[in-house]
Structure 1
Amino acid sequence: MLASLTLPVWLLLLAPVQAEPQTLRIGTGDWAPYVDQQRADGGALARLVSAVFAEAGYRVEYIFHPWDRNVLMLQQGQLSAIMPYSCSPSRLNYGVCSDPLVRGEVVLFHRVDQAFDWQKVDDLFNYRIGTTLGYSYGPEFDEALAGGRLMVQQSGKEDTSFRLLELGRIDLHPQDRAVGYAMLRQLFPKDASHITHHPRYLNKEPLRLLFRKDDAEAAELLRLFNAGLQAFAKRGDLERLQQALNSGNADSWQPSTSHHVAQD
């Protein structure tokens, strides 16, 4: 009886084999609500990027490191891409930027009890400013920082500057507005109202994936990603995500799928 149930070897060879999707390693950092290491799905932008690559037949694994280490690992070919990054001129020396995911707005956070106003970067020269290593705050600020014209205290962790600001050891902290308020809610759950932001933004530009420059495989991944991202944009996903980020509801946003759209 057992022999009669055994399939011939040639039939087994003809049976379809379900190939496992190729895994891409994307470097990122804890930057809620855009990317959140505490969430199984990685946060709002991770959900978007995973969905785009899934429709192209790839699975994404997110590697969380400090921002400057992500850049080094990308340059060494240890990562398929890094995100979310602004497309600053210095990054074009080693990377190629994807099409925009969402728009980020960098503002200056300060204590409520500290009178503060500014019009241009020159107005910031006498303030103690906390920044994060590997982060770009816009061309004017970055140029002043590189020229040593700002009093800056740099750290490798995202939350350090807010802790220093709360203690009064620095005066200002430039940070993405959505990220800043998400971080304040986490750091000071009982009362974060003693820290606010100035309404004038320091920089406003899209956040993107960054792929390795002069790399054929990376160039193909970039092409596939941009094409897939365009399809999501046409479905309204990127607009819905931007609205969710601006309103503080990013955790509830979910990307659509081509299958769901076909059923509508």
Structure 2
Amino acid sequence: MTADPLVRIGTGDWAPYVDQQRSDGGALSRLIRGIFEAAGYQVELVYYPWDRNLLMLEQGNLDAVMPYICNKNRQRFSQCSDAVAHGEVVLFQRADQQLNWQRFEDLEKFRIATTLGYSYGSKFDAALDAGRLQVQQSGKEDTGFRLLSLGRVDFHPQDRAVGYAMLQRLFSAEERALIKHNPRILHAEPLHVLFRKDDARAQRLLEVFNAGLRRLVANGELASLQRALNAGNADQWQFTLESSVQ
């Protein structure tokens, strides 16, 4: 047993990856808890807004946060795990609009709803920071879709699997029929667990997690999870604790 067995991990409601309404916390919560429990740790998941999670990690109030894109700004105060899943960020739009974009610069003419604390890829983040995009930012997960359904914005970027899970859970069939995703992918990048930087315990937690994750790669469990996410069957994906130990 480890000397300090409790691992506090900050996350947010982001079904199908993380689902606060499920007793097991969703697919990535099952994955992370299983790996750490097999190594003698206990996991406490705490749910905060995405930007607050990062601030608490930077201030040393959390051991890790998940799931996040591993960008340069976050690497200032965190260490990134191996990839736990691969997501595709797409632009959701109203089904009755024909909006086309070919180059990233084309997005500058559109109204876009974003969520605070999200990263949408380095090019989008840089354009946002430089003020080149017309954005409405909100801390609530569903605001972007609600603005979209009301016609107040043209696009809402979101992970494709997350977007459709959110629409299914929070919107009526009539509302869902009004929204689709643009076929052009905005950004594709793996998702990670971010651990505290320059901290001996966090370094050990990172090593424990990566070791367990690599065993799941070797036995095919991680590929099985990705297939379940892509097919919309993440809630059915399960693995035993024995899957994450040698």
Q: State whether TM-score is above 0.5.
A: yes
Question: Aligned with 2:19: secondary structure?
Answer: coil
Within-5 A mapping of 1:1-264: 22-191=5-174, 192-258=176-242
For structure 1, the residue ranges without an aligned partner over 5 or more in a row are 1-17
Counterpart CA distance in 1 for 2:33 and 2:123 is 33
The structure with more radius of gyration:
1
Q: What is the aligned-residue RMSD (CA, Å)?
A: 1.8
Rounded Cα–Cα distance in structure 1 between residues aligned with 2:244 and 2:101: 48
Pair 1:111–1:53, CA change in 2 (3 A):
same
Q: Is the 8 A contact 1:52 1:232 kept in 2?
A: no
Deviations 1:229-261 (A, max 9, x none): 111111211100000000000011112332799
Where does structure 2 lack aligned partners over 5 or more consecutive residues? none
Moved over 3 A (4+): 18-21, 259-262
Deviations along 1:4-31, one digit per CA (max 9) or x if unpaired, are xxxxxxxxxxxxxx99982211000000
C-alpha separation in 1, matches of 2:128 and 2:22: 34
Flag the 1:115–1:260 CA change in 2: closer, same or farther, 3 A: closer
How many residues are treated as equivalent by the alignment? Answer: 245
TM-score (norm 1): 0.89
**Matches of 2:109 and 2:2, distance apart in 1:** 59
- Shift in CA distance, 261/71, structure 1 to aligned 2, threshold 3 Å: closer
Give the deviation of 1:78 after TM superposition.
Answer: 1.0
- Contact 2:8/2:62, CA 8 A, preserved across alignment: yes
The answer to whether the 8 Å contact 1:232/1:256 transfers is no
Native 8 Å contact 1:50 1:59 kept in 2: yes
The answer to whether the 8 Å contact 1:36/1:43 transfers is yes
Residue identity opposite 2:54 in structure 1:
V
The percent identity for this pair of structures is 60
DSSP-derived class of the 1:118 partner? coil
Q: How does the TM-score come out when normalised to structure 2?
A: 0.95
